[in-house]
Amino acid sequence: MRTDAMLTAYKTIVTREIRRFTRIWPQTLLPPAVTMTLYFIIFGNLIGSRIGVMDGFDYMSFIVPGLIMMAVITSSYSNVVSSFFSMKFQRSIEELLVSPVPNWIILAGYVTGGMSRGLGIGLIVTLLSLGFTDLSIHHLPMVILTVFLTSALFSLGGFINAMLATKFDDISIVPTFILTPLTYLGGVFYSIDMLPGFWQGVSMINPILYMVNAFRYGILGVSDVNPYIALAMIVVFITILSAVSLRMLARGKGIRH
Amino acid sequence: MTNALEIEGLVKTYGDGFEALKGIDLHVAEGDFFALLGPNGAGKSTTLGIVCSLVNKSAGKVRVFGSDIDTHLSDAKLNLGVVPQEFNFNQFEKVFDIVTTQAGYYGIPLKKASESAEKYLRQLGLWDKRNTPAMMLSGGMKRRLMIARALVHEPKLLILDEPTAGVDIELRRSMWTFLEEMNRRGTTIILTTHYLEEAEALCRNIAIIDHGRILRNTSKRELLQQLSSETFVLDTAEPLDKAPVLDGFFSHLDDEGAMVVDVQKGQSLNGMFIQLEKLGIRVVSMRTKANRLEELFIRMVEDNNTSAASRGDAA
Ligand SMILES: Nc1ncnc2c1ncn2[C@@H]1O[C@H](COP(=O)(O)OP(=O)(O)OP(=O)(O)O)[C@@H](O)[C@H]1O
Ligand SMILES: [Mg+2]
C-alpha cells in the first residue's frame, strides 16, 4: 500500500472509532463524568475536609490527578476492548482483513481511537474538577507526556484483551479484577508514605502507581517515585505490548481460522 | 492471457483437525463468469475464504491476477472484492458509512469514496436507505449492501459466496442482470450458489466440489452436453388422468398433473406430437424442465459419495 493510502486507511479507522463512542455517548462519555463528580463530592469535599493535608496539599487537590488518570486508564482500555471485540463478534473485522491495510496501521488506528476517548474523558474530568479545586500545573510537558503515553499503553492492553477474548465475559475480567484494584492501590487516594514499609515495597511493583505519580508530579510537583523512571517504564511497556499485539494480528488467532 | 485466479494444491486443515480441502486446483480466466458448486460443507466458503485472507491455508498456492498471496498479498487484495456468505457488517452503522469506510480501508480518500459509494448504492437500489442503520435493512437489502461494499474500490475480481441466498425471485433476477452487466464491462466474477438455475443462467465455466475435492472443472456447455436426454413438461388442454403410452418416449405425470416426457438426444420431437395428435391430446404449452444442471449435479455428487464410501473417506 502507498503511504497516502495508508494514511487514508488510518484516518478511516480513527474516524470510525470516534464515531462509535460519540454515537453511544450515554455509555461511554457520561458514566465517567458522573462517577468522577461523585468522587470529587464525596472524597474531596465531604471526607477530604476532615482528612486535612496530604503531601502538603489539601486532600481534594491531592486526589484530582489520580482520579483523572483513573478515568483515562479505564476509558482507553474499555474503548479498544469493547470496540475490537464487538468487531470480532459481529465479524466486521473481516472488512479489515480482506483489505490491504497493514497490521500496524490497524493497531495504530485502534490505539488512536482508544486514546481519543481516554484523553477526551481526561479533559472532561479535568474541567469538572475545576468546579471543586484550582488546578495549577507544575510541569506541563510531564503532564502531557504521561497522560498520552498512559492512554496509549492501556489502549494497547485493551487491544490484546480483545484479541484473546472469546466471549463477552472475557472483556470485563481484566478491568474488574486487575485494572480497578491496581488503580485503587496505585496511590490515587493516598501517598504510599502512609503505608508500612512492607506495603510500600509491594506497592512499588504496581505499574499504575508510577503513572499516577508521574502525572501528579506534573500537576502538583510532588511524587512518591521519580517521574522520569515512570515515563521510561511506560515506554518500555508500550514497546512490549505493541510487539505482542502485532504478533497476535499476524498470527490471526481468533480472527482468522 | 492472465488468469484472474489460480489455485494450486490448496489444502486446509482446520484447528480441530478436520481436512476441509484436500488439494484443490482451480484456474479462472480473466473476464470469466465462474460458478463454484457443491453441496453444504463441500469446501466452497473455505476455498473462497482463503483467497480473501479470511482463512489461513495449510498448504498450496493462490494467485490473484498473478500476485501470490504469500508474497504480494497487498496487490492481490486490491484486485479483489468479496461478498461473504454471512452478514459481516456492523449492524449499528449506517449503510453509507459502511460502504465509505470499506473504501477508506483500501486507501480511497473520502471524497472519492463517497462518489463511488453513491454510484453503487444507487445501482443496487439502496440509495434511499443510505442513512439507515444496517440492522434495519431487510435480508435482501443486506445482501445488496454487501455487494455495494465489495465493489466500492472497483476490484477486477468479484467473489460472491451465495449472493442470492434468501433473495426473492424478482430481486434475484435484477441481481443477475446487475452481475451480468458488471461481467460484460470486464469484471471477472466467481460465485457459489445452491440455485443451479442461477449458475446455468449466468456462468460460462463451472467447477463442482465435494468433500474438499474438485470433481469437475469445465465449461457449462460441455457439462450440459453430457446430459443424454432432455426432459420436457407439456401442459395439455384437458387434464389427463394417466400418462399416455407413447412409442419411443417415456412419459409420466408430475404432481400438478402435467405430462413429463423424456426425449433422448437426437430424437425428433415430431414423432411425439404425431402420436399425441392421434390420441386426441392437445398440447397448449411446452417447456424444458429447468435445472438440467441440477440433475447432473445430483448424479455427480451421488457418484462421488459412493466412491468416497468405497475409499472409506466419506465425511
Ligand atoms: N472454523 C471451522 N472449524 C472447523 N471446521 C470448519 C470451520 N469452518 C468450516 N469447517 C468445516 O469445513 C467444511 C467445509 O465448510 P465450508 O464452509 O467451506 O462449506 P461450504 O461448501 O461453503 O458449505 P455451504 O454450502 O453450507 O456454505 C465443513 O465440513 C465445515 O464443517
Ligand atoms: Mg459456504
Min Cα separation B98/chain A (Å) = 9
List, for residues A23-66, the tens digit of each pLDDT value: 999 999 999 999 999 998 888 788 888 888 888 888 888 889 99
In this structure, the answer to whether residues B241 and B192 fall within a common structural domain is: no
In this structure, the answer to whether residues B71 and B17 fall within a common structural domain is: yes
Reported as half-sphere exposure (CB side, CA atoms, 13 A), residue A247 has a value of 6
Within-domain flag for B306: no
Cell match 510487539: residue? A243
Read off the C-alpha cell for B10: 490448496
Domain range enclosing B237: 226-292
Instruction: Give the pLDDT score at A52.
Output: 81
Ligand 1 within 6 A of B49 CB? no
Which residues in chain A have their CB less than 8 angstroms from residue B90's CB? 86-87, 90, 92
**Last residue in a domain, options B224, B259, B281:** B224
**Last residue in a domain, options B199, B224, B249:** B224
CA angle B17, A102, B43 (to 5 degrees): 30
Residue spans per domain, chain A: 3-251
How many helices (DSSP H) and strands (DSSP E) are in chain B? 10, 14
Looking at the predicted structure, is the pLDDT value of residue B81 above 50? yes
Domain count within chain B = 2
Within-domain flag for B279: yes
Of A5, A23, A97, the CB nearest to B54: A97
In this structure, the answer to whether residues B188 and B259 fall within a common structural domain is: no
Instruction: Give the pLDDT score at B315.
Output: 45
In this structure, the answer to whether residues B132 and B158 fall within a common structural domain is: yes
Q: What is the ipTM of this complex?
A: 0.89
Which DSSP symbol is given to B246?
Answer: B
CATH code where residue B67 lies: 3.40.50.300
In this structure, the answer to whether residues B106 and B150 fall within a common structural domain is: yes
Of B15, B86, B105, the CB nearest to A12: B105
With an 8 Å Cβ cutoff, are B104 and A9 in contact? yes
B247: helix, coil or strand?
coil
In this structure, the answer to whether residues B267 and B195 fall within a common structural domain is: no
Distance B172 CA to ligand 1 centre (A): 25
Looking at the predicted structure, is the pLDDT value of residue B291 above 60? no
Interface of A with B in 68-107 (CB under 8 A): 86-87, 90-92, 94-102
With an 8 Å Cβ cutoff, are A8 and B108 in contact? yes
Say what angle helices B169-184 and B139-151 make with each other, to 10 degrees: 10
Ligand closest in space to the Cα of B44: 1
Looking at the predicted structure, is the pLDDT value of residue B176 above 50? yes
> What residue in A sits closest to B57 (Cα-Cα)?
A257
In this structure, the answer to whether residues B196 and B233 fall within a common structural domain is: no
Is B206 within 8 Å of B35 (Cβ atoms)?
yes
User: Which residue type, as a one-letter code, is found at position B267?
Assistant: Q
In this structure, the answer to whether residues B13 and B84 fall within a common structural domain is: yes
Which residues in chain A have their CB less than 8 angstroms from residue B149's CB? 95
List, for residues B9-54, the tens digit of each pLDDT value: 999 999 899 999 999 999 999 999 999 998 899 999 999 999 999 9
In this structure, the answer to whether residues B181 and B49 fall within a common structural domain is: yes
In this structure, the answer to whether residues B76 and B18 fall within a common structural domain is: yes
In this structure, the answer to whether residues B239 and B260 fall within a common structural domain is: yes
**Please, what sign has the CA dihedral across residues B40, B32, B69, B60?**
positive
Residue B261 — left, alpha, or beta (φ > 0 → left; ψ -120 to 50 → alpha)? beta
In this structure, the answer to whether residues B235 and B212 fall within a common structural domain is: no
Of B77, B90, B109, the CB nearest to A92: B90
